[in-house]
Amino acid sequence: MPADIVILHSSDADQWAEFLRDQMKQLGRKVACFANDDFLIRESDSSHREVNAAKSVLLIVSPYLFDTITANPSLTFVPLLKDTSKVVMFLCGIELRHFRQAATLHQFPDLGLFQKFTHRETIDMIECTLLTADQDVDV
């Protein structure tokens, strides 16, 4: 059975990935995390199938991940993120201006389609979701 949520990240975002994984598991979601810094290079069939089959994909774009894909234009998340409606992209230590300054159009061609939230908005949404889930359990 595929994961409800797949979290893609690099090692410099381990704490964020763990936090998000724990929060989603509290909501009863099946979560898969791929913390491989070279996830794009290896292209493991099983992990890519899991990403494509997931209901949602959380992509944590951190400085290391951003620098890796910027330095290697042949690397791309595009095949994994065909349906942008199920992708949530977290910018951790990266700002939108970094995308404009670097040649990332190939790696993130639909960047404008992603909804953007600040760190505080993200925490507030997670807390609100958990509160709602707790209230649903109590009913």
The topology under which CATH files domain 5-138 is Rossmann fold (3.40.50)
Query: What SS3 state is found at 6?
Result: strand
- Name residues of the chain where pLDDT drops below 70: 36-47, 73-82, 102-116, 129-139
Which among 39, 92, 102, 88 has a CA at the least distance from the CA of 63?
Answer: 92
The whole-number pLDDT of residue 36 equals 65
| Environment class of 118 (CB within 10 Å of its CB; exposed 0-12, middle 13-18, buried 19+) | exposed
Question: In sequence order, which residues have a C-beta less than 8 Å from that of residue 51 and are 6 or more positions away?
Answer: 6, 8, 34, 57, 80
The whole-number pLDDT of residue 17 equals 92
User: Which DSSP letter does residue 82 get?
Assistant: S
Q: Domain coordinates of the chain in residue numbers?
A: 5-138
pTM over 0.85: no
The whole-number pLDDT of residue 49 equals 78
The whole-number pLDDT of residue 77 equals 63
